[in-house]
Amino acid sequence: MTVQTETKPADTAKNIDSRYFFALGALVFCVYAPSLVNLFEQWWNSPEYGHGLFMPFVVGYMIYRKLPFLAKEPLQSSVFGIFMLLAALSLLLAATLADIESIKHYSFCIALSGLILLYGGFRFLKIALTPLLLLFLVIPLPYLLISSLTAGLQLVSSELGTGLIRFFGIPVFLEGNIIDMGTYKLQVVEACSGLRYLYPLLSISLLVAYFLKTPLWFKAFIVLSTIPVTIFMNSLRIAITGVLVNQYGNEVAEGFLHDFEGWVVFLAAFVCLMAEVWLFKAIFIRKGSLHDLFDFSSTESSEKSVVSQLSLRSCLSAIALTFFIGGSALYLAFNSELRVPERSLFAEFPMRIDGRNVVLDSFGQDVLDILKPDDYFIGSYHNKVDNPVGLYMVYYAQQKDGSALHSPKVCIPGGGWVVEDERIEAFNLNGGDLEVNRVVIRKGELTQLVYYWIDQMGVSYTNEYLARASLIKNAVMQNRSDGSLVRVNIVVSDQDFLAADIQLQNFIRGMSGSIGHFLPQ
């Protein structure tokens, strides 16, 4: 008697395709390996993003819980996954040329989304959406966004903190980010902006919302409420520090006690989030316990395995794309350096412009540690008749995350200045028009007129985001990412803005003949 063994060629084909897919996944991770190493280093060294070290395990667990649901029926592969993977790899290649790590990290999230679409279609992507969002939130923001966000939170926290200190009956004076208490000045530095609370609280709130068995509107409320909760609790920490300084001296604003206050405030902010959940239950769901609002139950195991109807052609196409585009990016990551053009140092910049002689100034090391410039110039040009014209120029040979140009709009409010007027001004310069940002600022009774612009390869920008975006084009086309910021300012006497405009424009015309030697074209 002969027994015939029934074969299942379709299943065998699927298994082969799955092995090809896992090979594709391994190839993608190899391509992104240098960027992922950089990301883990940032998580390890950053107080704001330290929780990112745990997030891959959390994300893996969240997807693991949904595997039985995915195994109920075969997953339908989507060709959109190939296009998303192509977009991610192209972005990686451009970011590698421009040497911008944050864009590489974001492209990795896009690549993961493409892999998920390719393997399981939109059904799989829908399940993985929240875990992917968690990964997205632990990627450090680009420097330009961080600087703007930090400056804004510093100002808001300073104002609210000052108000709370006054509520306790202590007289204080606020000037920008400095709270003057008479015998001691509290400076709300970048580390006290509240971002160290906001980033982890956003991730925690998203996790809480993920496990909540509540309507979608309340889940969104939980996540969005972290922003005002963070701002208020950070302002409360500043106020508590001010009160303690007033009672016990300056030592409480530094060292262990200062850090301990931070942990207490963070835990208090988390308690506020849980209080929101408790209030929701008390108002809308009066039966059961608070634990009943969460879905922590383990998913039932399934005898079926997750099966994808992934075609061999799609998988091989994705492998080919990853090999050629990703391989090119990987090669450039180790073998490509941006070209640094020759230029004259600012130390050789003219000492006399438009009949004015310069009085040089310099930055302290604390400011240089923040700016990280390759070269800079700061000074004021004087004559015997008019108000001095201040000139500040900063140059970066390669603009990277943490070492790049940013708008003076970020720094002006932090110094206690109030922006009264802001617009783009164009005036004639060497037969053409130069567009600059024209800003009127005031501190007390002192008013200044400020002109500034960004210069990259001889092109002037008034928008820092457009200037930043052009870096990728410059890196691809010219193999350069250098750039400069130029700022001139003058005190306005008797509200005579016309005279101030004329003096600044004449000064810029006076230095235009020599500035090209210092700002590479």
Residue with tokens 């000052």: 162
For residue 298, pLDDT beyond 90:
no
Per-residue model confidence (pLDDT) at position 41? 92
- Contact call for residues 486 and 393 (beta carbons, < 8 A): yes
The 3-state secondary structure of 434-479 reads EEEEEEEEEECCEEEEEEEEEEECCEEECCHHHHHHHHHHHHHHHC
pLDDT at res. 387: 92
Per-residue pLDDT, averaged over 204-219, amounts to 89
Find out whether 316 and 20 touch, Cβ atoms under 8 Å. yes
Going by C-alpha positions, the residue among 230, 228, 158, 227 that lies closest to residue 190 is 158
Average pLDDT in the chain: 83
Cα 411 to chain centroid, rounded = 17
For residue 254, name the pLDDT band (cuts at 50, 70, 90): low
Higher pLDDT, 78 or 390: 390
Q: Answer whether residue 308 shows pLDDT above 70.
A: no
Q: Could you tell me if 313 and 24 are in contact, meaning their C-beta atoms sit under 8 angstroms apart?
A: no
Start-end ranges of CATH 3.40.1000 in the chain?
Answer: 346-515
**Residue pLDDT, tens place only, 224-251:** 999 998 888 888 888 888 887 777 766 6
Segment of 103-107, 197-201, 473-477 carrying the highest mean pLDDT: 103-107
Confidence grade of residue 17 (pLDDT, cut at 50, 70, 90): low
Mean pLDDT of 271-283: 87
Dihedral angle, C-alpha 298, 304, 309, 314, nearest 10 °: 60
Q: Per-residue b/e over 107-136, b at no fewer than 16 CB within 10 Å?
A: bbebbbbbbbbbbbbebbbebbebbbbbbe
Read off the tokens for 288.
């059961």
d(CA 310, CA 15): 10
The answer to whether 390 and 380 have CB atoms below 8 angstroms apart is: yes
- If one compares 48 and 209, the residue with the highest pLDDT of the two is 209
Please tell me which residue, 69 or 112, carries the higher pLDDT value: 112
Q: Three-state SS across 389-406?
A: EEEEEEEECECECCECCC
Reported as a pLDDT band with limits 50, 70 and 90, residue 197 is confident
Q: Which of 346, 360, 340, 357 is nearest to 514 (CA)?
A: 346
| Closest-CA residue to 412 (of 36, 152, 77, 72) | 152
- Strand-strand pairing, 173-175 and 459-461: unpaired
pLDDT at 255: 56
For 14-26, what is the mean pLDDT? 72
Mean pLDDT of 321-337: 79
Tokens of 492: 């306005």
What's the whole-number mean pLDDT along residues 147-155? 79
Distances (CA, A) of 19 to 11, 24, 35, 263, 315: 12, 9, 25, 46, 10
Mean pLDDT of 298-312: 61
CATH class (in words) of the domain with range 346-515:
alpha beta
Write out pLDDT tens, residues 212-226. 888 899 999 999 999
Residue 259: what pLDDT?
62
Q: What is the DSSP secondary-structure string of 228-294?
A: HHHHHHHHHHHHHHHHHHHHH-GGGGSHHHHHHHHHHHHHHHHHHHHHHHHHHHHHH--SS-GGGGB
3 pLDDT tier (thresholds 50, 70, 90): very low
What's the pLDDT score for residue 253? Answer: 60
Confidence at 484, pLDDT banded by 50, 70, 90: very high
Cα angle for residues 151, 157, 159 (degrees, 5° grid): 105
* Residue 198: band (very low, low, confident or very high) from pLDDT cuts 50, 70, 90: confident
The more confident residue out of 178 and 130 is 130
Average pLDDT of span 201-219: 89
Q: What is the pLDDT of residue 13?
A: 40
The CA-atom distances, in angstroms, between 235 and each of 174, 246, 259, 286, 440 are: 14, 17, 15, 34, 29
Long-range contacts at 156-159 (CB < 8 A, ≥ 24 apart):
156/231, 156/235, 157/188, 157/192, 157/193, 157/194, 157/231, 157/234, 157/235, 157/238, 158/188, 158/238
Task: Tell me how far the alpha carbon of residue 401 is from its chain's centroid.
Answer: 9
User: 4 pLDDT exceeds 60?
Assistant: no
- For 170, phi then psi, to 5°, come to -105, 125
AA letter at 388:
P
Residue 299 has pLDDT above 70, yes or no: no
Which pLDDT belongs to residue 240?
82
pLDDT band at 372 (very low <50, low <70, confident <90, very high): confident
